[in-house]
Amino acid sequence: MKSRRLYLLFASTALIWFLAERQAVSNWKPWWWPPTNGIKIAPKDPNSTDTVCITLSGEWPSACIPVGSKISVTGNNIHFDVIGSSAQFCAQVIRGWSQTKFIDSLSSGTYAVYAKLDSSPYIKMTEFTVKAVSDVRKVHNIDLRPTLEKWKLGPRVQGDRNICSVFTMVGALEYAMASKTHQGTQLSVEFLNWASNQVIGKMDDGGFFSDLWKGFRVYGVCPEEDMPYRNKFDAGLKPSQNAMDHARKLRKAGLRLHWIKPWNPKTGLKENEFLTVKRVLNRGWPVCGGFRWPKKPVRWKNDVLEMVPPDGVVDGHSVLIVGYRDNGEQPGGGVFIFRNSDNNGRDGYMTYEYARTYMNDAVWIDL
């Protein structure tokens, strides 16, 4: 009996040592790594002036997906830390997940990307090369509105409801879906509002971008005709089975959300975040922006939102940024162009100074 116990102790120790040694090997994937997981580097061939976007994504093995991550660069090694133990979101079903981080202006050279979950060892995921660029033509103007018009995705009006963030998120979803199908389809603001409320367990009109995305990832979103917008919020409104079926199909379209700036109403845009907004627009994707907004009456000058002091703003209002124009005569050096579900749906302009000062959060959606 004693020899058997010693044998079991030795076997257990050897097994633990063997697993530890295997986990230290760079190409071995531990239990938490989903088999469908992948990594994407954008742009595909970055140069030294680009913001590099690194996305980990896949099918998480449980319904409690990680919602946090951080990234660091040491020499030519990039470490992507996925945070799961202290910040998880549990959905009703096992589903896809993604984490995206941005790195500004890497020097030319070859970089290795390593990833890990919490305290597990780093796994080498991929390598990519950053090319040196001595002279890059600067893009001074971007306007995505002609593309929106081509897809018949015109301005929409929220009326008296406090639901601007949902209109903004739906606008980004419509654009991403149209990029995939090459035709525009109006999507239901009511459905996305309902989906978000189901996930967070509240019955509010409007919500944070993060909660709206959670609603989309669980339920999707249906076409506008399946659940049309109403002038007043109805907490008892529920989608039809037809709407649920259509929303489920759109949920599987492979759309992804990327954070540029997490919500913080005490700060504006840092310089790297400001540049990332412009670079995302350069790549042809609109940006959802939440802002501290001027107290009423909101004043405009030639459709440019007027700058106000900190005691002149409230939190807040959301708009879809669809372009920019560099202009040295404007405060901050130019203006962002935005779609606005308020102000009777009239497009507006915002100075770079205003965005740098009062932008609470920023996200974008792509395929």
- The model's confidence at residue 113, banded by pLDDT at 50, 70 and 90, is very high
**What pLDDT does 19 receive?**
44
Q: Does the pLDDT value for residue 259 go beyond 80?
A: yes
Q: Say which residue the tokens 């760079």 belong to.
A: 26
Q: Which pLDDT tens digit goes with each residue over 199-209?
A: 999 999 999 99
Checking if the pLDDT of 1 tops 60, the result is no
Residue carrying the six token digits 């050897």:
14
Name the pLDDT band for 343 (thresholds 50, 70, 90): very high
pTM of the model: 0.70
pLDDT band at 133 (very low <50, low <70, confident <90, very high): low
Residue type at 254 in one-letter notation: G
Lowest mean pLDDT among 13-27, 151-165, 174-188, 302-316: 13-27
Least confident among 28-37, 178-187, 213-222, 300-309? 28-37
More confident residue, 357 or 276: 357
What rounded mean pLDDT belongs to the chain?
A: 86
CATH for 141-366, options being 3.90.70.10, 3.40.50.620, 3.40.640.10, 3.40.1830.10: 3.90.70.10
Higher pLDDT, 136 or 343: 343
Q: DSSP labels for 30-57?
A: -TTS-TT-EEEEESSS-BTTSEEEEEEE
Give the residue with greater pLDDT, 353 vs 13. Answer: 353
- Per-residue pLDDT for 57 more than 90? no
Read off the tokens for 173. 């979803």
Query: In sequence order, which residues have a C-beta less than 8 Å from that of residue 320 and are 6 or more positions away?
Result: 167, 168, 171, 172, 286, 287, 288, 289, 338, 339
- Considering only residues 346 and 6, tell me which one the structure prediction assigns the higher pLDDT: 346
**Domain residue spans in the chain?**
38-130, 141-366
Q: What is residue 22's predicted lDDT score, i.e. its pLDDT?
A: 43
| Mean of pLDDT values over 124-130 | 91
What is the percent of the chain with per-residue pLDDT over 90, rounded to a whole number? 63
Please report the pLDDT score of residue 200 as a whole number: 94
- Give which of 112, 45, 99 is closest to 70, Cα–Cα: 99
Please check the confidence at residue 24 and state whether its pLDDT lies above 50.
no
Phi first, then psi: give them for residue 334, nearest 5 degrees: 160, -170
Please tell me which residue, 116 or 223, carries the higher pLDDT value.
Answer: 223
pLDDT tens figures, 266-302:
999 999 899 989 989 998 999 999 999 999 999 999 9
Residue 78 near residue 52, CB atoms below 8 Å? no
What is the per-residue pLDDT for 5?
56
Region label for 344, one of left (φ > 0), alpha (ψ between -120 and 50) or beta (otherwise) = left
Predicted local confidence at residue 55, as pLDDT: 87
> Over the stretch 62-81, which tens digit does the pLDDT of each residue have?
667 776 788 989 889 999 88
In the predicted structure, residue 135 carries a pLDDT above the cut 50: no
pLDDT on residue 6: 54
